[in-house]
Amino acid sequence: MDKKNIFSIHGPEQFLIELERNKLVYKLKKDGYIERKIFFSKAPSFSYEKLMEEQFSDMFSSKKIIDLRLENAPSKSEGELLEEFCKNLSEENSIIMSVIGLENVKSRAWFKKLLNYSKDLEIKKIWPNQKKQWLKELSKRFNIKISEEEIDLIIEKTQGNLLSSYQELKIIKALNDSSESNFVSENSNFDIFNLSNSILKDDLEESLKILEYLKLQKGSEALVIWSLFREIERISFLKEDPNIKLNGPFDYVDNIKIKSRKLNDQQVIYFKKKIAFLDTSFKTGKDNFWSNVERIIIEFIKPEFLQ
């Protein structure tokens, strides 16, 4: 049986289901399914009888996507209606059935029957050791050029949360759309990682020079935040365990260890709050981003200014 226009999406994480659904909707719209109607099975106004009215199309209607969000299991009679719906669905219509919050769905009788008519899109759980590869694949889908170090920064900043990582990648996409180049030119010595090194070496003049260069690049704000976040997080880890293993060039590791000894616990907390505020104000468009960054860098290099 041809299943090209009927899809069942399910898995353990709602966000990943939504991501797959959005991808599918985008593809269907490119294939000419212009109209889209969304149904929530838990909505008071929803009924399977009402859904059945969408089963057929007339000669004057456009190709349509029926987006059904199954948030509770259908009863036996409802399951039969849904099966009938799929069985007789017009080729001018497509239905995406997203199963949300239901466990062991593949063992349920009503779902097994639906698989006779629909393409099964099972979304697997992404384990911690798979998050980096997931972000790589997502960046390719967004047509973003991104390095291993930049992916590491995203994971660190978001504590591995998939939704937060996705949102950060969307910010980068928005910032990077105006340029075909990477976030910062690979041929330049004035990049985000040199900024980290100069800050950790307490080289204020060099740090502000690189910051000014990044300001002119337009689209590097998110990476500046990640860089600051990464360094203060690593310093925090070193405060807890001076022997913790850090990845990076020897001079970088030496510099961050030295810096962790210069800052006290209260100062580390202070900078965490400052960077968190910087992140929030950047996303909301409040305050002058570059002035705030400059102030943080000056205070970070010369913490005596905090006294």
Instruction: Examine the pLDDT at 83 and tell me if it is beyond 90.
Output: yes
Residue 67 lies in a domain: yes
Same domain, 42 and 144: no
Burial per residue of 138-172, b for 16 or more beta-carbon CB atoms within 10 angstroms, e otherwise: bbeebebebeeebbebbbebbeeebeebbebbeeb
Convert the pLDDT of each residue in 17-36 to its tens digit: 999 999 999 999 999 998 99
Same domain, 223 and 202: yes
Helix axes 162-176 and 14-30, enclosed angle (nearest 10)? 40
| Three-class DSSP category at 31 | coil
Convert the pLDDT of each residue in 220-278 to its tens digit: 687 788 889 889 989 998 998 888 877 667 788 899 999 999 999 999 999 999 999 99
CATH number of the domain enclosing 21: 3.40.50.300
Same domain, 12 and 67: yes
Same domain, 233 and 287: yes
* Tokens read off for 135: 């972000």
Same domain, 16 and 48: yes
**Do residues 244 and 237 touch, judged by C-beta distance below 8 A?**
yes
User: Which residue, of 182, 205, 227, is where some domain finishes?
Assistant: 182
* Tokens read off for 232: 């203060």
Q: CA angle, 157 as apex, 151 and 162 as ends, to 5°?
A: 70
Residue 1 lies in a domain: no
Convert the pLDDT of each residue in 138-186 to its tens digit: 988 888 888 887 888 788 767 777 877 887 787 677 666 544 444 433 3
- Predicted pLDDT of residue 184: 36
Same domain, 130 and 16: no
Same domain, 307 and 195: yes
Same domain, 80 and 153: no
Q: CA angle, 227 as apex, 225 and 228 as ends, to 5°?
A: 65
Expressed as residue numbers, the domain containing 67 is 6-122
Count how many domains the chain has. Answer: 3
User: Which residue, of 97, 122, 147, is where some domain finishes?
Assistant: 122
